[in-house]
Chains A and B, each alone.
Chain A
Amino acid sequence: MSEVTSVHVERENLYGLAAEFKTTPGIYHAAEKTYAAGFKWFDCQVPFAVHGLDRAMGVKMTILPILVFFGGMAGLTTACFLQIFTNSMEFDIWALLPVVGYQFDVSGKPLLGAAAFVPVAFEMTILFSALTAVFGTMFLNKLPMFYHPTLKHPALSRATDDRFFLIIEARDPKFSRDEVEAFLNSLNPETVIALEK
């Protein structure tokens, strides 16, 4: 339907081919077909999270919730130890490190007041989980990443505005320029763009 619009990109410099779509059904069905065609190294760049597109692309469920669970547990443990050690304990850790808490005697109330330790334990659990959620996503998404071939091409800047792009990378084992170009054109895109590395 349309020609590859970009300037000529040398074979060894080719990052991949991008097909541009105007609508969400367009990108959705294109992603489904690309996944069905057996491509592995492909991605969609879209201005917002298109509902169900991740599943259409065959993206596996992220491990983030598991990380967050362990983050939360780490927070809870830290909070419990922090409170118990600093306020009430007096002992040596493996006879090496003497730990002396600051024991506040308030009206003879127990030093190890479990109920009184709940709020801080709760807050620390939330804090550690939230930090894990945010920094975990950034880590898994390999962000910050300030250079990326798709950030270089002017047409793809509309991926954060109103256009939807499907990109098949040259490193995909099934990639051959002519075939992929024909395949992308069969998906009925607006244009097909060659991306430089």
Chain B
Amino acid sequence: MTTVPVPSLDNTGEDPSNRPQLILNHTDFGSVTTDILRANESAKPPKSWYFALAVSFTMMSMLGVMIGYLFFTGVGVWGNNNPVAWGYPIVNFVFWVGIGHAGTLISAILFLFRQKWRTAINRLAEAMTIFAVICAGTFPGIHIGRVWLAYWLFPIPNQMDMWPQFRSPLLWDVFAVGTYFTVSLLFWYLGMVPDLATMRDRATSKTKQMLYGIFSLGWRGSMRHWHRYERAYLLLAALATPLVLSVHSVVSFDFAVSQLPGWHTTIFPPYFVAGAIFSGFAMVMTLAIPARQLWGLKNFITMRHLDNMCKIILFTGSIVGYAYSMEFFIAWYSGEIYESFTFINRAFGPYGWAYWIMVSCNVVTPQIFWFKKARNNIAIIFTASLLVNVGMWFERFVIVVTSLAYDFLPSSWGMYEPTWVDVLTFFGSFGLFMTFFLLFIRYLPILAIAELKAIMPIADPHGHGHSYNEMSTETSEQAKIAEEDE
């Protein structure tokens, strides 16, 4: 195979007749494998990786200490109290579950829409989903008060003949998040099996060969296997698509099914789903930008990919903005005094600062992505993605806290203040998330290698990759041969 080096191209153009290249500077399969796995196979990762891991691990340990302190002392160490019984833990739960939505959206919905650019970011996003859902699951788990009775959440036969209440949205949540975690994990793992086999076949040490060998299940790339595998992948995508939409809808039912002003609205499910996708994509960008830099993946996670993600952030951010304004409109239009009061209080009451942080981060910030210059500027994208993460956390804070703090009776009003334990637990959850993520990028295939190869122009057995303007000389020969054969 003649490898003709193609100059790095600007692939962010908007001309629909000219399909942008998704993999730059690679015209053969072998170099794709080598370049993606270079960081995994290098004897030592970059120093910054060790530094990041040390910081993350410390933060994760802090989470452990905080949870231990909580268990030994009681929920009183948190700021949760009447009337705000759902403080940081539920805010953090909704925040993390929301982040967990981008992974399956990218792997399932974009797969069904045949968005080929998803292949460069799906593995990363799926991993992020799994770790985010682990963080999310931690919070309701430690929030229940009597943690030793956490198994009451599940329908387990017991001597008390006691069963969970299936008409409660909180139980729906157990099923929705549990299913989401399981399906995402299966999706992630299934997608990874062929790449683990690649790593197994390239591994040099016995330990690696054994471990990758076990986890790749003896995958040998048989086309008869691929046939079923592809079918299974398609089925999982089709199953995961309604699942993604259902999970945050069910989370929103936790609020919407109650009668509290500011919670009891029908707009919640779509509004939560859009917000979840919005925050998830922001987190994918926050992780992908340093990862492509450090791991040398700029030819795979190209500016085009970032550009596309910016557009999704712009779109979902605008939906979120629309939802915010619609909430206000309905509060006024309904003529409900409690509803109207809640919303005026949200924006101009004692928690107004949180509300305006939310609006400026979630509604104003993404509007910058109308400009191509902003979409193609790494610094702007990265800053915007961080701001969106902050904004989306505040969105959940505003929803959870303001509605609980100021409900119907002024006599039961009360402010909520988090304690240092709340704050450190929240930061600790980032440690948990980042530790998992750093271990993932070091030891597992960070990009979907097999899927990336399949979208290369030379992968087409009929040589129809003409829409790409750069092709190695051999590819055009292949095309000619293929056409003659037909």
Are B28's CB and A43's CB within 8 A?
no
A-B interface, 4 closest residue pairs, ranked by CB to CB distance from nearest: A28-B461, A162-B29, A86-B163, A162-B30
Asked whether, in the complex, the Cβ of A47 is within 8 Å of the Cβ of B453, the reply is yes
Closest to B475 in A: A23
Please judge, given known A-B contacts A51-B459, A161-B201, A161-B202, whether A64 and B161 are in contact too, CB under 8 Å: no
> What's the least CB distance linking A190 to chain B, in Å?
11
CA distance A113 to B257 in the complex (A): 14
Contact of B229 with A by CB under 8 A:
yes
- Say yes or no for A7: interface residue by CB 8 A criterion: no
Main secondary structure of the interface of B (DSSP, over half): helix
Q: Do A25 and B220 form a contact, CB below 8 Å, given A129-B235, A143-B225?
A: no
Give Cα A162–Cα B202 distance, bound, in whole angstroms.
12
Q: Which one of A130, A146, A156, A157 has the highest number of Cβ atoms from chain B below 10 Å of its Cβ?
A: A130
B462 touches A25 (CB 8 A): yes
Q: A83-B166, A133-B232 are in contact. Are A160 and B240 (CB under 8 A)?
A: no
A53 interface residue (CB < 8 Å to B): yes
- List the interface of chain A (C-beta within 8 A of B): 22-25, 27-29, 31, 43-54, 56-57, 59, 62, 64-65, 68, 82-83, 86-87, 100-102, 104, 106, 109, 113, 116-117, 119-120, 122-124, 126-127, 129-131, 133-134, 136-138, 140-141, 143-148, 150-151, 156-162
Q: Does B236 contact A (CB under 8 A)?
A: yes
Residues of A within 8 A of B198 (CB): 47, 160-161
Stretch from B322-330, B394-402, B478-486 that touches the partner: B478-486
Interface residues of B in 371-396 (CB under 8 A from A): none
Closest chain A CB from B460 CB (angstroms): 7
Complex formed: what's the CA distance from A127 to B460 in Å? Answer: 34
Residue in A54, A117, A134, A156 whose Cβ sees the most chain B Cβ within 10 Å: A134
A-B contacts, 21 of them at CB < 8 A, read: A27-B461, A43-B223, A48-B226, A49-B227, A57-B224, A59-B224, A62-B228, A101-B163, A104-B165, A116-B166, A119-B176, A119-B246, A120-B166, A124-B179, A127-B183, A130-B239, A136-B232, A141-B225, A144-B214, A150-B220, A157-B202
Is residue B68 contacting chain A, with contact meaning CB distance below 8 A? no
For chain B, the bracket of interface size reads 35 or more
A106 → B minimal CB distance (Å): 7
A176 to B277, CA, bound (A): 58
Q: Are A48 and B459 in contact (CB under 8 A)?
A: yes
Q: Is the CB of A145 within 8 A of B235?
A: no
Q: A51-B454, A157-B201 are in contact. Are A134 and B230 (CB under 8 A)?
A: no
A159 touches B220 (CB 8 A): yes
CA gap between A197 and B474 in the complex, in Å: 36
Q: How far, in Å, is B309 (CB) from chain A's closest CB?
A: 24
Question: Which residues from chain A contact B240 at a C-beta distance below 8 Å?
Answer: 126, 130
Asked if residues B186 and A134 are in contact (CB atoms below 8 Å), the reply is yes
Is there an interface contact between A137 and B223, defined as CB atoms closer than 8 Å? no
Q: In whole angstroms, what is the CA distance A144 to B220 when docked?
A: 11
Determine the residue in chain B with the shortest Cβ distance to A29: B485
Chain B minimum-CB-distance residue to A109: B167
Known: A120-B175, A133-B236. A102 touches B162 (CB 8 A): yes
A46/B221 contact (C-beta < 8 A), A126-B183, A134-B236 known: yes
Chain B residues near A117 (CB, 8 Å)? 166-167
CA distance A113 to B240 in the complex (A): 26
Indicate if the CB atoms of A137 and B163 lie closer than 8 Å: no
Q: Report the bound CA distance from A20 to B213 in whole Å.
A: 23
With most chain A CB atoms within 10 A of its CB, the pick from B155, B246, B253, B461 is B461
B226, A46: Cβ atoms closer than 8 Å? yes
B163-180 interface mask toward A, CB cutoff 8 Å, 1 = contact, 0 = none? 111110101100110110
Residues of B within 8 A of A143 (CB): 217-219, 225
- A100 vs B18: C-alpha distance when bound (angstroms): 66
Question: For B200, what are the chain A residues with a Cβ–Cβ distance below 8 Å?
Answer: 160
User: A43 contacts B183, CB within 8 Å?
Assistant: no
- Check A44–B253 contact: CB distance below 8 A: no
A29 CB contacts on chain B under 8 angstroms? 485
Whole-angstrom distance between the alpha carbons of A22 and B282 in the complex? 40
Distance between B205 CB and nearest chain A CB, rounded to angstroms: 15
Report A-chain residues with C-beta under 8 Å of the C-beta of B229.
Answer: 49, 137, 141
Which of B163, B189, B202, B454 has a CB less than 8 Å from the CB of A49?
A: B454
Are A126 and B239 closer than 8 Å at their CB atoms?
yes
